[in-house]
Amino acid sequence: MEHSSRLSRWFDRRGWSDIIIGAPYVWLVVLFLLPFLIVVAISVATKTATAPPFSFGGEHPLVNLQGYQRLLHDTLYLRAFLTSLTNAGIAMVLCLLLGYPMALALTRVSRSWRNILLMLVILPFWTSFLLRVYAWMGLMGKNSWFNALLTDAWNWVVPVDWAVKSIPMMHTNFAVVLVMVYTYLPFMILPLYASLERLDPTLDEAALDLGSRPSRVFLDVTLPQSVPGIIAGGLLVFIPAAGELVIPSLVGNAASPMIGRVISDEFSSARDWPMASSVAVALLLLMVVPMMLYSHYQAKAEGEAGK
């Protein structure tokens, strides 16, 4: 106690505490807020043939909202947003349905098993992400054993009229969702595990003791207490999935692009930086709303727990 207070006084005297507290803010301002403001500025600039390909003022209006106008009127962008949100939403729900039982199982096994299984959850990160997407491309391709297996299963189940030679998986939203679920599943499992692991097992026993069957105990005791974990995992999957570029580019349907692809195309092929920036700002705003709802919920929950 004495030691720590002396340490903190030393920090105060040197102004160290200001630096330590300030460092993350400096980081956020320099590397997040400033670049974002630049993007906002470019989004209201006018596209030119110069380098860089935009300009403010001059013969153009100082604030040009053309990008945002196109965003609202050109259905390409609206459809891209819709595709992104739908794919990300489906991926998030599937991750939750797959990840919840896995996270729950992690809390119920012995310590040594738990460490092994947690390791297995994280293990895919040790292989290059691109390599793993390419592996999926191989699996989903028309001539793969995996596709053949699924095709056989399909043909066995459905009437003869519906039989197919192979299942067209590549370049569909199905493929995008499948690979996103595979990629983002650990981001769902880990926060869920963290929140489930904290729960007191005697609460389950208390509910059993008071007459509830195990399924009822799950609904009454476990599930409501794991809501913060569900929200955290959901956001960790949904936000990157909605802005995902690589997966839809490699396995997705080029005819219905996701928003990440649209931003990338506007920046590089179309060289329309103001348009790309407008889309990026819109995407960010779309993501910030659920984020703010989440932090509001968190603050409320913490306020309750703190009292």
Partner 1 sequence: MSAPDEPFLRIEGVSKSFGTFQAVRDVSLTVAKGEIFSLLGGSGCGKTTLLRMLAGFEEPTSGRIFLDGRDMAGVPPWSRPVHMMFQSYALFPHMSVEKNIAYGLKHEAMTKAQRDDRVREMLDLVQLSQFAARKPHQISGGQRQRVALARALARQPKLLLLDEPLAALDKKLREHTQFELMSIQARTGVTFIVVTHDQEEAMTLSDRIAVMDRGRVMQVGSATEIYEFPNSRFVAGFIGSITSFEARVTGREGGQVVLEVPALGGRVLARDVPGVVEGQAVTLALRPEKLRISKDRPETGNAVEGMVKDLAYFGKDSLYRIVLPSGALVSAHAVNARRGDEATRVADWDDRVWLSFDPAAAIVLTE
The nearer residue to partner 1, 58 or 224, going by C-beta atoms, is 224
Farthest CA pair distance, the chain: 82
What DSSP state is assigned to residue 15? T
DSSP-assigned beta bridge partners for residue 54: 47
Chain centroid offset of residue 114 CA: 25
Least gap, CB of 189 to partner 1 (angstroms): 23
Residues that bind partner 1 (CB under 8 A): 200, 202-203, 205-213, 220-221, 224-225, 304-305, 307
Half-sphere exposure for 89 (CA within 13 Å, toward CB): 8
Least gap, CB of 39 to partner 1 (angstroms): 41
> What is the rounded distance in angstroms from the CA atom of residue 92 to the CA atom of residue 16?
42
> What is the rounded distance in angstroms from the CA atom of residue 136 to the CA atom of residue 301?
40
Least gap, CB of 72 to partner 1 (angstroms): 42
The nearer residue to partner 1, 109 or 206, going by C-beta atoms, is 206
Least gap, CB of 150 to partner 1 (angstroms): 41
184 closest CA partner among 135, 241, 261, 131: 241
Least gap, CB of 225 to partner 1 (angstroms): 6
Q: Are 118 and 193 in contact (CB under 8 A)?
A: yes
The nearer residue to partner 1, 46 or 222, going by C-beta atoms, is 222
Least gap, CB of 228 to partner 1 (angstroms): 11
Helix/strand/coil (H/E/C) assignment for every residue in 228-289: HHHHHHHHHHHHHHHCCCHHHHHHCCCCCCCHHHHHHHHHHCCCCHHHHHHHHHHHHHHHHH
